[in-house]
């Protein structure tokens, strides 16, 4: 956190557009209409909303963690729009996309002649975000030398442009985000522990899509509407198609889902999307289409077989998930951290699932 007061949202990324609502509202009004609000009614999203609302009114530094495509920038914008800084700039910086030799100039600006090619003076992102919020995305990719300089700014609340000895005060709130495990990066000597504690005063973790598949129908409907608003055909999905999508892992999360719907709007402009219309990778590796014209039923080989009268997919997947969690806990003598590693999920994710399914480590 640096200083206090206001900010306005500027533009939206692909992941941001995948989540937002109320397309027609003016920027200053979007927050109150939920424009920057993560979509969904799952317990994970309700908790996310609660954390956003708790921290928004304060200038506390926030560290947002989570997988790529889960909407970390959206959460940052939502915090900004609900804060007293909402009428000042929201300035995002992707730390992983800027070469190490240029990031200092990008953040702090430079004076004319500071280095080869600096033909004019230039403001940095800290100056651009004055009075508002600076969003440092992929902070885990920042090199150690720059981490030291950033830590000084967080402590001193001032900086100098490259090539200048004039100290400039700054009034900027810092929100950082990363898909990396920064505590592991600290252990590996790739991230400064003191900077980590400066940034993570209020940590927020964005849930993956596979952790909140109950939100999938709402997300699909919303994303299809947004795609149509952008000039592409409006597509609708059959229940069977939705259930099939729910069986996927979604490594790219909501961003991947948004890209799929945009693709289907182009390739299947007729309207209704059924299982056969989905790309092969989303139908499952073992799914094979039979001759639907002959009235036959899609079947699964080398795996579970879909009953002729259908299946309650949600309960089926719940049963599988709870059984695997129970087995992992048993193998690890009830130690949740070890069970989480066995299941290749975060400990907090496993704890949330155990709470959801009313399970205890001794189950």
Q: What's the CATH code of the domain at 323?
A: 1.10.10
Q: Is pLDDT of 261 > 70? A: yes
Question: In terms of DSSP H, where are the helices of 21-172?
Answer: 27-30, 43-56, 72-81, 100-108, 125-128, 144-156
Q: Is pLDDT of 30 > 50? A: no
- Are residues 146 and 284 both part of a single domain? no
- Average pLDDT (296-302) is 41
- Average pLDDT (264-290) is 76
**What's the token pair of residue 225?**
């509407």
The pLDDT assigned to 297 comes to 43
The pLDDT assigned to 37 comes to 87
- Tell me what the pLDDT averaged over the chain comes to: 82
- Are residues 319 and 226 both part of a single domain? no
Q: Does any domain span residue 362?
A: no
- Are residues 70 and 58 both part of a single domain? yes
- Are residues 287 and 199 both part of a single domain? no
Number of domains in the chain: 3
CATH of the domain at 266: 1.10.8.60
Collect contacts of 11-14 with beta carbons under 8 A, ≥24 apart.
13/73, 13/92, 14/255, 14/258, 14/259
Q: Does any domain span residue 308?
A: no
Tell me how far the alpha carbon of residue 209 is from its chain's centroid.
Answer: 9
Q: Is pLDDT of 70 > 70? A: yes
Last residue of a domain, one of 205, 234, 257: 205
- Are residues 256 and 116 both part of a single domain? no
Coil, helix or strand for 301? coil
Choice between 2 and 283, residue whose per-residue pLDDT is larger: 283
- Are residues 52 and 162 both part of a single domain? yes
- Are residues 93 and 182 both part of a single domain? yes
The pLDDT assigned to 333 comes to 73
Q: Does any domain span residue 44?
A: yes
Work out the pLDDT band at 23, boundaries 50, 70, 90.
Answer: very low
Work out the pLDDT band at 356, boundaries 50, 70, 90.
Answer: confident
Q: Does any domain span residue 304?
A: no
Predicted confidence (pLDDT) per residue in 127-137, tens digit: 999 999 999 99
Question: Phi then psi for 36, rounded to 5 degrees?
Answer: -100, 15
Tell me how far the alpha carbon of residue 63 is from its chain's centroid.
Answer: 12
Q: Is pLDDT of 181 > 60? A: yes
Q: How far apart are CA 129 and CA 88, in angstroms?
A: 7
Strand ranges inside 58-191, DSSP E: 62-65, 85-94, 133-137, 158-160, 167-169, 173-178
The pLDDT assigned to 15 comes to 38
- Return the percentage of the chain with pLDDT > 70, whole number: 82
Q: Does any domain span residue 20?
A: yes
The pLDDT assigned to 206 comes to 97
Torsion of Cα atoms, 354 then 355 then 357 then 359, to 10°:
60
Strand order in the sheet with 6-8: 6-8, 85-94, 133-137, 173-178, 62-65, 202-205
Q: Does any domain span residue 302?
A: no
- Average pLDDT (183-205) is 96
Predicted confidence (pLDDT) per residue in 210-238, tens digit: 999 999 999 999 899 888 888 888 999 99
The pLDDT assigned to 255 comes to 93
- Are residues 144 and 49 both part of a single domain? yes
Q: How far apart are CA 108 and CA 112, in angstroms?
A: 13
In sequence order, the β-bridge partners of residue 90 are 133
Q: Is pLDDT of 45 > 70? A: yes
- Are residues 53 and 125 both part of a single domain? yes
Q: Which of 47-61, 72-86, 110-124, 190-204 has the lowest mean pLDDT?
A: 110-124
Give me the domain span that covers residue 267. 209-291
Q: How far apart are CA 122 and CA 162, in angstroms?
A: 10
Q: Does any domain span residue 301?
A: no
- Are residues 281 and 320 both part of a single domain? no
The pLDDT assigned to 362 comes to 53
Choice between 38 and 288, residue whose per-residue pLDDT is larger: 38
pTM: 0.69
- Average pLDDT (249-254) is 92
Q: Which residues of 254-285 are buried (b: 16+ CB within 10 A; e: fewer)?
A: bbbbbebbbebbeeeeeeebebebbeeebbbe
Q: Is pLDDT of 322 > 70? A: yes
- Are residues 225 and 254 both part of a single domain? yes
- Are residues 243 and 196 both part of a single domain? no
């Amino acid at each position: 956190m640096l200083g206090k007061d206001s900010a306005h949202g500027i533009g939206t990324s692909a992941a941001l557009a995948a989540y937002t609502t109320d397309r027609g509202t003016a920027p200053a009004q979007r927050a109150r209409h939920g424009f920057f609000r993560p979509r969904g009614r799952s317990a994970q999203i309700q908790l996310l909303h609660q954390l956003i609302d708790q921290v928004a009114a304060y200038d506390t530094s926030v560290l947002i963690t989570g997988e790529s495509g889960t909407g970390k920038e959206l959460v940052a914008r939502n915090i900004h729009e609900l804060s007293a800084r909402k009428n000042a700039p929201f300035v995002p910086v992707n730390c992983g996309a800027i070469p190490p030799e240029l990031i200092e100039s990008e953040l702090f600006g430079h004076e004319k002649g500071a280095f080869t090619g600096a033909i004019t003076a230039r403001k940095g992102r800290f100056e651009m975000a004055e009075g508002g919020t600076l969003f440092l995305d992929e902070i885990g990719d920042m090199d150690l030398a720059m981490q030291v300089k950033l830590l000084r700014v967080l402590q001193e609340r001032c900086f100098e442009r490259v090539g200048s000895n004039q100290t400039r005060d700054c009034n900027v709130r810092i929100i950082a985000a990363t898909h990396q495990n920064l505590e592991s990066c600290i252990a590996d000597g790739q991230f400064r522990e003191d900077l980590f504690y400066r940034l993570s005063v209020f940590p927020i973790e964005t849930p993956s899509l596979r952790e909140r598949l109950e939100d999938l129908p709402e997300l699909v409907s919303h994303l299809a509407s947004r795609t149509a608003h952008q000039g592409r055909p409006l597509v609708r999905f059959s229940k069977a198609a939705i259930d099939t999508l729910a069986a996927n892992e979604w490594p790219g999360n909501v961003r991947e889902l948004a890209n799929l719907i945009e693709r289907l709007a182009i390739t299947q402009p007729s309207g209704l999307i059924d299982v056969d219309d989905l790309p092969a990778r989303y139908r499952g590796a073992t799914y094979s289409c039979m001759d639907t014209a002959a009235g036959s039923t899609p079947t699964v080989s080398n795996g579970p077989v879909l009953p002729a009268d259908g299946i309650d997919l949600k309960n089926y997947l719940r049963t599988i998930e709870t059984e695997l969690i129970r087995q992992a806990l048993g193998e690890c003598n009830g130690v949740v951290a070890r069970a989480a590693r066995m299941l290749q999920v975060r400990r907090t994710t496993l704890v949330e699932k155990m709470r959801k399914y009313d399970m205890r480590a001794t189950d």
